[in-house]
Amino acid sequence: MGSHKLNAFVYAGIVAIGGFIFGLDAAVISGTVKYLTQEFALSEMQIGFVVSAPGFGVLPALPLAGYLSNKLGRKKALQLVALLYLVSAVCSTFAPTYLTLVLARFLGGMAFCSLSLATMYIGEIAPPKWRGKLVSINQINIVIGLSAAYFVNYLIIDAVGVNSDWITSLGIKENTWRWMLGSEIIPAFLWLILLFFIPESPSWLVFNNQIKAAKKTLRKIMPNTEVDEHVAGMVVSLATSEKNQSVLDQFKEIVSKPMRLTLIIGVTVALVQQITGINAILFYAPTVFEQLGIGTDAAFIQAIWVGVTGLFFTILAIVFIDRIGRRPMIVWGTLWLVLSLGICSYGFKTARYKLVEEDVVTLTEFKNKDLLMLIVGKEFKSDAVFKKELKLLLGEKKARIHASNLIQKAVKLNTTLILFGILSFIAAFHFSIGPVLWVLFSEIFPISLRGIAIPSFAFITSITSYFVQLFFPWQLANMGASSVFLFYAVLGLIGFVILFRFLPETKNLSIEEIQKKLIKKT
């Protein structure tokens, strides 16, 4: 590997660490749900608020990200984001109250705009022939971060089970959730330090008329003979872009008749990516697996498989996207999502919940066993009905604390079928609409509108994700797992029909060719 290529990969690799921290931050909360519920006596909606707080934090941050990156430079904007991650991780770890924890996680959510900033920086620092591979590093790192979060959570849970002296001395057993959230501190700090060693984006330097500085940076990532020509091209592009329309005019063009098909596709893909429930699974993985009655420890082990499956199929998607094409991966991948959700819904629909006397006797940590004897031998046809009965008998606080253990004792279902459905769903998402959405967004919008269109449709994705995370605990408690998965499947099926009807293939087409294709179909 030549020095220019090596430098480009090093700079891209450093910036892409932000993707790892995003994945870690997003998924590590999944292991804390049970402990936060107990420590702060939280309701389902309160759990939803603390888990979804970053999803809310990114909403005001998205419009600011582009402004700050233009005003301060890509490098300083990324450093600010890394600092937000670090402060959020420290404050979350030592949060004394529920409110301070929510606020700390909201602050971390503002750093989630790192994804768009990282993509922007890598796209500008990478030589054209390496751009695709370098940008994909960020996507892979996100899934590695998700996997790392599940693995870290499992290691901490396993350590608590050992109950050795060093576990006691470190306070891991008493502060399990704090150790989980604290796992983000070290990588966030390292990322902040490493960002001081990357150069400023040459595109931003040219934009600010710092031509000499831009050439100095470009000489690190491309042969000296190509630098002048590359800078000249950026100057011409900048001169052209200055003739662009105002922000309001660009919004008007996005919703105009010639862009109608693009609008339909963009909104549908943005909604389907999140409304089918991916972040309900990723951010509540152990909680979801506990509904299978496999117990807390086994639930954390199964969560690791979610991360591993996602990583494997993300790599496959990156390898095959230019061979298979965007349309078949998104359209048939969405159908795969729907079928997987249907399997999960059916599996939970056939579940039955019944406590027997022997189950109640073995509950050594439960004091009021006489209350549970009132429902011994009674069969319940859904987890929601079973949980409601527990709340009536035990009260909401005790019912939430003991629900996982009682479900483990009472449930009879096809565990293998549901596990297959969940992992199939994860595979379908990461092979299709998960990573391919961002590729599609970079292709279906004309260059003149991309700066406004992509953040706007990313906003739709983010706000949909926020509401999915917020309401999932309430849905699970009141609708039951079967109905929740069916709800996601129906929404995904609607998306599939729309995309099957309207989404064209964009593989191997220029931006101009794609625009002609979309306008012709309008």
Instruction: Report the amino acid identity of residue 149.
Output: A
Q: Which of 139-143, 150-154, 268-272 has the highest mean pLDDT?
A: 268-272
pLDDT band at 126 (very low <50, low <70, confident <90, very high): confident
pLDDT band at 394 (very low <50, low <70, confident <90, very high): confident
pLDDT over 70 for what percent of the chain? 90
- Give φ, ψ of 354 to 5 degrees: -150, 125
- Please give the residue that has the higher pLDDT: either 49 or 322: 49
Query: Looking at the structure, do residues 506 and 395 belong to the same domain, yes or no?
Result: no
CATH number (domain holding residue 58): 1.20.1250.20
- 58-62, 105-109, 291-295 — which is least confidently predicted? 291-295
pLDDT over 90 for what percent of the chain? 29
- 182-186, 200-204, 427-431 — which is least confidently predicted? 200-204
pLDDT the model gives residue 370: 75
Which whole number is the average pLDDT over 321-325?
A: 81
pLDDT the model gives residue 240: 54
Query: Looking at the structure, do residues 150 and 264 belong to the same domain, yes or no?
Result: no
Q: Which of 158-162, 407-411, 502-506 has the highest mean pLDDT?
A: 502-506
- 70-74, 107-111, 265-269, 324-328 — which is least confidently predicted? 70-74
Write the pLDDT tens digit of every residue in 216-272: 877 787 777 777 776 776 676 566 554 455 667 777 777 788 888 888 999 999 999
Query: Looking at the structure, do residues 408 and 498 belong to the same domain, yes or no?
Result: no
Residue 85 domain-assigned (yes or no): yes
pLDDT the model gives residue 234: 66
Which whole number is the average pLDDT over 32-38?
A: 88
- 49-63, 95-109, 368-382, 508-522 — which is least confidently predicted? 508-522
Average pLDDT of the residues of the chain: 83
Count of other CB atoms within 10 angstroms of residue 213: 16
Query: Looking at the structure, do residues 151 and 35 belong to the same domain, yes or no?
Result: yes
For the cut 80, the answer to whether the pLDDT of residue 30 exceeds it is: yes
Query: Looking at the structure, do residues 2 and 95 belong to the same domain, yes or no?
Result: yes
Residue 233 domain-assigned (yes or no): no
Residue 195 buriedness (CB in 10 A; 0-12 / 13-18 / 19+)? buried
Count of other CB atoms within 10 angstroms of residue 83: 16
Query: Looking at the structure, do residues 36 and 157 belong to the same domain, yes or no?
Result: yes
Domain end point (choices 198, 216, 237): 198
pLDDT the model gives residue 242: 46
**DSSP output for 88-141:** HHHHHHT--SHHHHHHHHHHHHHGGGHHHHHHHHHHHHS-GGGHHHHHHHHHHH
Domain hosting residue 398, numbered range: 352-412
Residue 241 domain-assigned (yes or no): no
pLDDT the model gives residue 196: 95
Which whole number is the average pLDDT over 185-211?
A: 89
- Please give the residue that has the higher pLDDT: either 486 or 450: 486
Query: Looking at the structure, do residues 41 and 154 belong to the same domain, yes or no?
Result: yes
- 187-201, 361-375, 387-401, 496-510 — which is least confidently predicted? 361-375
Q: What domain count does the chain have?
A: 3
Residue 206 domain-assigned (yes or no): no
pLDDT the model gives residue 236: 67
Question: CA–CA separation, 263 vs 503, rounded Å?
Answer: 11
Domain end point (choices 412, 434, 457): 412
Burial 14-47 (b: 16+ CB within 10 A, else e): bbbbbbbbbbbbbbbbbbbbbebbebbebbbebb
Query: Looking at the structure, do residues 99 and 127 belong to the same domain, yes or no?
Result: yes
- Give φ, ψ of 412 to 5 degrees: -130, 110
Query: Looking at the structure, do residues 308 and 185 belong to the same domain, yes or no?
Result: no
Question: CA–CA separation, 129 vs 213, rounded Å?
Answer: 23
Residue 229 domain-assigned (yes or no): no
Residue 16 domain-assigned (yes or no): yes
pLDDT band at 89 (very low <50, low <70, confident <90, very high): very high
Residues in the chain: 522
Write the pLDDT tens digit of every residue in 286-320: 778 877 776 666 667 777 888 889 889 988 988 88
Domain end point (choices 363, 391, 412): 412
pLDDT band at 93 (very low <50, low <70, confident <90, very high): very high
Question: CA–CA separation, 164 vs 22, rounded Å?
Answer: 32
Write the pLDDT tens digit of every residue in 408-466: 788 888 888 999 999 999 999 999 988 888 778 767 777 566 667 777 788 888 889 88
Residue 45 domain-assigned (yes or no): yes
- Please give the residue that has the higher pLDDT: either 396 or 18: 18
